[in-house]
Structure 1
Amino acid sequence: MSHRQVPRTGRAFAALTAVAACSAGLLAASGPASAAPDPASATAGATAGDDATRTAARQRASVPYPNLAPTPPMGWNNWSYYMCDINEKVVLDNARALVRTGLANKGYDTVTVDDCWMAKQRGPQGELVPDKDKFPHGMAHIGRELHRMGLKFGIYEDVGTLTCGKYPGSYGHFKEDARQFARWGVDYLKADGCNVPRPAGRTKEQIYREVYEQQSQALEATGRPITFSVSAPAYFQYDGDSVWHQVIDWSARVGNLWRGGRDIALEQQSPATKWSSIVYNFRYNAGLAQLQRPGRWNDPDFLLAGDTGLNRHEMQSQMSLWAMMAAPLISSTDLGKLSPEAREVLGNEEIIAVDQDPLGKQGKVIEQNDGFTVMSKPLRHGQRAVALFNSGDTPRTVSTTAAAAGLPEASSYRLRDLVTGRVGQSDGAIVAQDVPAHGTVLYRVTAR
């Protein structure tokens, strides 16, 4: 069925019948129309006036979350392609496709079920209840099946009173929900930030920090290693860089990766919208390199390779640019219908190696104008990855130099094209002739 996207900061939402009422979720600081939990029954950090308790919670949060993602996470998430049209079969079929195509062996090992997986009401003991029509065998069954395939189990929740799709959020239930996820065998939690109440006298940034700290502490208290994906910065993208960057800074302490801004486009949207979304997310995330560090990852959202309307050059550009940014490589498409081209793009081991390089450095833009961008990323053994991105609508030559890319002075340089496999030599010029419209040439460069 067709779904309309509603623009918003934290998540791009469609007007599915189940989620149509959620278009106001951009500024999740106000409570939802339905009743919120009594703040006194929520975890203490979310209440107003208890300064001593908040101070103690902040001291506990000063210890960073365990480093559970030494390299950028890789895997699959249903949201961009399926949205709320999700069920047990869709999840497990895509998991089997990861294994069958060989993508799992290349690192795509985490399968995450996004919003709309649960019933609209909690159970009699306050527990989260899976939607019985969508997941008749329950979420522990999903975890067991994924683990049996050698994959990891990811799940979605929200730190507010309700998820973006108006399902029960974890606000007031952080400890109980975390323990439930651990019992189900969850390995990865994506925590959104819709419908976060703002108690009197608290700023939006303060309350978001407190609830994400509570979620972080609850996960760690389970004793199960659960990679934590934080969505908080996405809700501050337009609040000014100083606030946005401050939110990213504490997100890097409470979790392992964080969504920085606007959602990537949806499958149902036009090819032009998809491409514009890829470029937009690349540009905002490329500017955050100074806020990333090894093991703590900026996340510009999903890979769209395999979606309708994107050509080979566009899919390749997103994959290459995400690898240059050390971004999580999380596919969101129907993996059972991957074209040979999409499979090649997602499975390119040399580009995956750039993304997963042990140095864990995000590449930086070294030259840019309206029609092209040049990025350089340090790799182990003194090598550099250099991306020459033509964002324009006609072919063009894009170039830089070894010195500009940060390579040491040498008599010559070896350039390996990571898409074609061709190897060339240079005295210092790094050039890509006739880069196609929306195309990217990605070199691994070695001083000789």
Structure 2
Amino acid sequence: MSHHQPLGLKPSMGWNSWNTFTWDINEQLIRDVADMFVSQGYKEAGYEYIVIDDCWSLKERDADGKLVADPAKFPSGMKALADYIHEKGLKFGMYSCVGTHTCAGYPGSFEHEFQDAARFAEWGVDFLKYDYCFKPRHISGELLYKRMSLALKNCGRDILFSACNWGADGVYDWIRESGAHMYRSTEDIRDNWESVKSLALSQLGKQSYTGSFCHNDMDMLVVGMYGGSNSDFIGRIGGCSDTEYKTHFSLWSLMGSPLMIGCDIRKDNPVTKEILLNPDLIAINQDMECRGAYRIKPEPQWFHTDDVFMLVKVLTDGDLAIGFFNLSDSSRELSLQFWDMGLPYTAGFSLSLYDCWAHRELGVFRERYAPVVAAHDCLVVRAKLVR
């Protein structure tokens, strides 16, 4: 009989090596990130997984068919690295792929699923990101994710399963049944505003497909990267503005995406920390009921484009998290009628609003609230019903 603890109750929080470092990873980097998690407040804020992405192994398996960590990059081995992370009260994540090879050309787990799951358990892995490259055409992605899910659930260790098939092949219709705890619903994120905006808009109609034990993963965060990736694809130049990073984090938080940091947190940028460690946004993302957010168009609806909207998330204690998002290129007034959230005037309630970024009370409002929001900016409030 299995006595595994349930995994994936709430969206995962952590750090992943890919966005900034891609192939250029090593043991010391991962140890440094673990140290920063503890010393700079990330662990205390709820971030717990430290995940090594692609390019960690040798290009060939050993004589027994087992995966081998690259000794030049990880001279102490994966078990020692996992132990170091666990000693800090954190969790250790690794990467593989459904296909014959990973996206960067290293050995994939196709036809080695159970062997690799046992290997990860042996090393002390707590999280597996499972990518979608080099998938054999004759087998469905659905079946391959079921394979690895079954392997992980029977490897003797609790390992959170992060499926990463980029929203392909009708994933919304079958991913929960596969056993995955989170699933990538989008193409790869890039460190620019158009990418962040595009990914967010693509998931506005998919909020009913997220919830406890199977969370819609809108990809890793680019907050704080400022064009600092090793990859031209992800972005080497410019990145986003601080305002855009704030909006990015707000969207991912309200929409219930896992919050996986992608920047180099060793740089200890105060603005980046202010965004990533915002306790009010994290509390919204980590709300126990894990409900998706619903969209409301500002009044008058005919006036506004699709990139101007409000998101409302029902919270466990009866509060509402409300995000006013202006993804357009000019300042807008976003008029929210409380009627559209199920609060008619006849109910006798007003809303007490708290600004989750300024960390201050905004006042009590009846029937409507209409802030002016700058281009690419947002306002996130926590609303409490009061008489």
Same fold (TM over 0.5): yes
Partner of 1:130: 69
Which of 88, 105, 110 is the matching residue for 2:49? 110
Task: Note if 1:292 corresponds to 2:193.
Answer: no
Q: Is the 8 A contact 1:127 1:177 kept in 2?
A: yes
State how many pairs are aligned. 362
- Using structure 2 for the length normalisation, give the TM-score: 0.90
Deviation larger for 359-368 or 385-394: 359-368
**Aligned residue type for 1:372:** V
Equivalent in the alignment of 2:266: 336
Q: Residue 293 of structure 2 contacts residue 312 of structure 2 at CA under 8 Å; is this kept in 1?
A: yes
TM alignment of 1:353-372, pairs within 5 A = 353-367=283-297, 369-372=305-308
Q: CA deviation at 1:196?
A: 1.2
- Cα shift at 1:122: 0.4
Aligned to 1:52: none
1:252 Cα deviation after fit: 4.9
Q: 2:320 aligns with which of 380, 384, 391?
A: 384
The verdict on how the C-alpha distance between 1:125 and 1:139 changes in structure 2, with shifts beyond 3 A counting, is same
Q: How far apart are 1:233 and its partner, in Å?
A: 4.9
**Partners of 1:286 and 1:370 in 2: CA distance:** 10
Equivalent in the alignment of 1:209? 142
Structure 2 CA distance for partners of 1:406 and 1:345, relative to 1, 3 Å = farther
After superposition, the CA RMSD in angstroms is 1.7
- From 125, 149, 153, the equivalent of 2:92 is 153
CA distance in 2, matches of 1:220, 1:73: 18
Amino acid at match of 2:255: M
Report sequence identity in percent: 34
Is 1:225 aligned to 2:158, yes or no?
Answer: yes
- Comparing both structures, which one devotes a greater share of its residues to helix? 1
Moved more, 402-411 or 184-193: 402-411
Question: Cα offset for 1:231?
Answer: 1.4
Equivalent pair of 1:285/1:299 in contact (CA under 8 Å): no
Unaligned runs of at least 5 residues, structure 2? 227-238, 298-303
Contact between 1:227 and 1:256, CA under 8 Å: does it hold in 2? yes
1:278 partnered with 2:204: no
For residue 420 of structure 1, report the CA deviation from its aligned partner: 0.5
| SS at structure 1 position matched to 2:152 | helix
Task: For residue 219 of structure 1, report the CA deviation from its aligned partner.
Answer: 0.4
Provide the residue aligned with 2:172 in structure 1. Answer: 245
Counterpart-to-counterpart distance in 2, 1:224 and 1:261? 29
Counterpart residue identity of residue 257, structure 1:
M
* Structure 1 residue runs without a partner (length 5+): 1-64, 200-205, 237-242, 267-273
Which of 401, 406, 415 is the aligned partner of 2:342?
406
Aligned-residue offset at 1:307: 1.1
Residue 90 of structure 2 aligns to which amino acid in structure 1? L
CA contact (8 A) 2:10 2:290 kept: yes
TM (normalized to structure 1)?
Answer: 0.78
Aligned residue in 2 for 1:306: 224
CA deviation profile, 1:189-222 (whole Å, cap 9, x unmatched): 00011111123xxxxxx62111111101100111
- Deviation string for 1:27-78 (max 9, x for gaps)? xxxxxxxxxxxxxxxxxxxxxxxxxxxxxxxxxxxxxx97401110000001
Measured in 1, the distance between the counterparts of 2:78 and 2:348 equals 56
Q: After TM superposition, give the deviation of residue 294 of structure 1 in Å.
A: 2.4
C-alpha spacing 1:320/1:215, structure 2 compared with 1 (3 Å): same
Does the 8 A contact of 2:118 with 2:155 survive in 1? yes
SS at match of 1:320: helix
